[in-house]
């Protein structure tokens, strides 16, 4: 019978124990939403979707994706009541499809979360440097601003999760306040009236709908991260599932409404053109045009702190994957070390920070003197790494949906057939479709034309990590059976 998972290589002392259970549903919701970064989505994701797709149906796309992800969350949440492990996808796939497949998922997840986190330094550095330069006249390089964020994230990462949660909660609350203010101003201005063009079928079911879904899913990345904190929540049987449902429902409705509001504020007939011309600056230009430069500046600052909150959230996620894999023996045991006083995954946090600093330096050196100018880290580091990460995480969610069906196959554990089979099956189909759409539209998503080496290399790195994990899992099964057999999720 399936019960709570037996952690592989159970901790023998506090240096390997992550489980100081302090997180509640509200704090976990804030951590989840921080990874999705509401203000970043409104300022960056929404205008980009309008510009690239040329369709007004972007808000409807968030609703459609929300339905798919709610279906995913049903089985995912049910499974979270039985399995608590910091390596969420790793543990879930291992329990439902087999240990070797779980190891494959673990390395794919580790690469994806690191890519997402590190890619965000590109846009964070650009946004922070641009704002400081505009207000002070100083020529601040993007990498210098990125390093400031790097230090903040690194220090929080080696402290107890409560501190990160408090910082993130304040930032997310302010983000919501700004987005709501933009929504209110948009409907107050409404140059063409409160149009519902965003929800007309002809503006959604048209050539480009695939790109709407491919771009839109990136806005939700991080909502699945609740399970990563399952060893640190006060009530492991309820907190993760509740927080996940609240987060995905709130994100879906909020994004759809805000994307619609921005369209109403700019005017449906002008939305595509304005988004194409201004891109991520659209929101701030819109606020400035309404006569309040101070509000626009505040929104700009909170856009930067929104990115910082997302960096913190994804850093914590990656650190906990390092920790889980080190504890289980998939990676060297040193990665399973935590702080004795704060139970933070110190080794995992430092490892993630090491990867981040290396890539910040690489992109800073390569981008020196680039013809792209200040936009270099956005067009390259941010766009390449974050879209590749979204590609990997969507694939993992589709696989996890199948794993849910496998996990409950022998024992339903009191869950209905809809939760055990129907919802995860529909989610697998929906997520699989989005995965294919991302692959088909990957050239557009990273800003290149046609099949270039980059279009092949980036997805190949992500999927290659999964294949390497499968090979490593087979190696462990054959050559280190004690380690392999200890990875039991029953």
Taking only the tens place, the pLDDT of each residue in 203-238 is 998 888 888 888 888 888 877 777 777 777 888 778
Q: Which of 350, 314, 345, 329 is nearest to 109 (CA)?
A: 314
Per-residue pLDDT at 358 exceeds 50: yes
pLDDT at 114: 96
3-state helix, strand, coil in the chain (%, to 5): 80, 0, 20
Indicate whether 108 pLDDT > 70: yes
- Report the percentage of the chain scoring pLDDT > 70: 94
- Mean pLDDT computed over 95-107: 94
In whole angstroms, give the CA distance from residue 153 to residue 163. 11
Count other C-beta atoms under 10 Å from residue 456's C-beta. 11
Is the CB of residue 44 less than 8 Å from the CB of residue 123? yes
Q: pLDDT tens digit string along 309-334?
A: 889 989 998 998 999 899 889 999 89
Residue predicted with more confidence, 486 or 202: 202
pLDDT of residue 448: 79
For the chain, the farthest-separated pair of C-alpha atoms sits apart, in whole angstroms, at 69
Model pLDDT, residue 1? 38
Q: Is the pLDDT of residue 17 over 60?
A: no
Which domains does the chain carry?
16-480 (1.20.1740.10)
Distance CA 344, CA 166 (A): 15
Q: Are 197 and 268 in contact (CB under 8 A)?
A: yes
Confidence of residue 443 (pLDDT cuts 50, 70, 90): confident
* Residues present in the chain in total: 490
pLDDT at 118: 97
Supply the pLDDT for residue 342: 72
Compute the CA torsion angle 411, 417, 418, 421 (nearest 10 deg): 60
Using pLDDT thresholds of 50, 70 and 90, give the confidence band for residue 170. confident
The reported pLDDT for the residue numbered 393 is 92
pLDDT of residue 388: 92
pLDDT of residue 291: 67
If DSSP codes are grouped into helix, strand and coil, which group holds residue 138? Answer: coil
Q: What is the pLDDT of residue 18?
A: 53
As given in the structure block, the two tokens for residue 72 are: 């995913």
Across the chain, what does the average pLDDT equal? 87
Give the span between the Cα atoms of 303 and 282, in whole angstroms: 13
With a threshold of 0.85, does the pTM exceed it?
yes
Q: What is the pLDDT of residue 12?
A: 37
* Amino acid 2: pLDDT: 38
Q: Which of 156-170, 251-265, 463-477 has the lowest mean pLDDT?
A: 156-170
Residues 183-212 have a mean pLDDT of 90
Give which of 321, 337, 339 is closest to 225, Cα–Cα.
321
What is the tens place of the pLDDT at every residue in 69-80? 999 999 988 888
Mean pLDDT of 93-98: 93
Q: What is the pLDDT of residue 4?
A: 38
Tokens 């013809």, residue? 371
């Amino acid at each position: 019978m399936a019960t709570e998972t037996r952690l592989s290589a159970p901790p023998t002392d506090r240096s390997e124990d992550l489980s100081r259970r302090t997180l509640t549903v509200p704090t976990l919701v804030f951590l989840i939403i921080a990874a999705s970064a509401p203000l970043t989505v409104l300022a960056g994701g929404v205008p980009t979707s309008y510009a690239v797709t040329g369709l007004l149906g972007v808000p409807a796309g968030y609703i459609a994706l929300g339905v798919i992800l709610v279906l995913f969350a049903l089985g995912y949440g049910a499974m979270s009541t039985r399995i608590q492990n910091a390596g969420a996808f790793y543990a879930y796939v291992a329990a439902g499809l087999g240990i070797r497949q779980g190891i494959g998922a673990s390395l794919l997840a580790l690469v994806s979360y690191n890519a997402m986190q590190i890619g965000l330094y590109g846009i964070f550095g650009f946004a922070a440097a641009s704002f400081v330069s505009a207000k002070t006249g100083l020529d601040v390089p993007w990498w210098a601003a990125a390093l400031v964020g790097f230090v903040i994230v690194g220090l929080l990462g080696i402290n107890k999760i409560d501190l990160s949660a408090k910082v993130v909660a304040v930032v997310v609350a302010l983000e919501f306040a700004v987005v709501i203010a933009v929504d209110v101003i948009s409907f107050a201005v409404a140059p063409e009236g409160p149009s519902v063009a965003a929800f007309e079928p002809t503006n959604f079911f048209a050539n480009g709908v695939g790109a709407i879904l491919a771009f839109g899913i990136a806005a939700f990345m991080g909502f699945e991260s609740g399970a990563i904190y399952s060893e640190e929540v006060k009530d492991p049987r309820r907190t993760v599932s509740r927080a996940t449902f609240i987060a995905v429902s709130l994100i879906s409705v909020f994004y759809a409404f805000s994307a619609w509001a921005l369209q109403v504020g700019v005017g449906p007939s002008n939305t595509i053109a304005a988004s194409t011309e201004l891109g991520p600056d659209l929101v701030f230009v819109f606020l400035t045009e309404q006569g309040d430069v101070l509000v626009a500046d505040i929104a700009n600052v909170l856009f930067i702190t929104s990115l910082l909150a997302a960096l913190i959230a994804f850093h914590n996620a990656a650190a906990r994957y390092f920790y889980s894999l080190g504890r289980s023996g998939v990676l060297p045991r040193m990665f399973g070390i935590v702080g004795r006083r704060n139970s933070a995954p110190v080794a995992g946090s430092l490892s993630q920070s090491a990867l981040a600093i290396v890539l910040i330096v690489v992109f800073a050196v390569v981008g020196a003197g680039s013809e792209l100018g200040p936009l270099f880290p956005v067009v390259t580091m941010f766009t390449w790494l974050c879209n590749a990460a979204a590609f990997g995480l969507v694939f993992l969610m589709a696989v996890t949906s199948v794993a849910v069906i496998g996990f409950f196959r022998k024992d339903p554990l009191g869950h209905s057939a809809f939760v055990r089979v129907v919802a995860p099956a529909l989610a697998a189909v929906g997520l699989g479709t989005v995965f294919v759409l991302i692959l088909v539209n990957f050239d557009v998503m990273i800003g290149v034309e046609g099949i270039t080496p980059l279009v092949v290399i980036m997805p190949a790195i992500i999927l290659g990590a999964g294949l390497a994990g499968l090979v490593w899992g087979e190696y462990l099964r054959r050559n280190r059976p004690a380690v392999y057999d200890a990875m039991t999720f029953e």
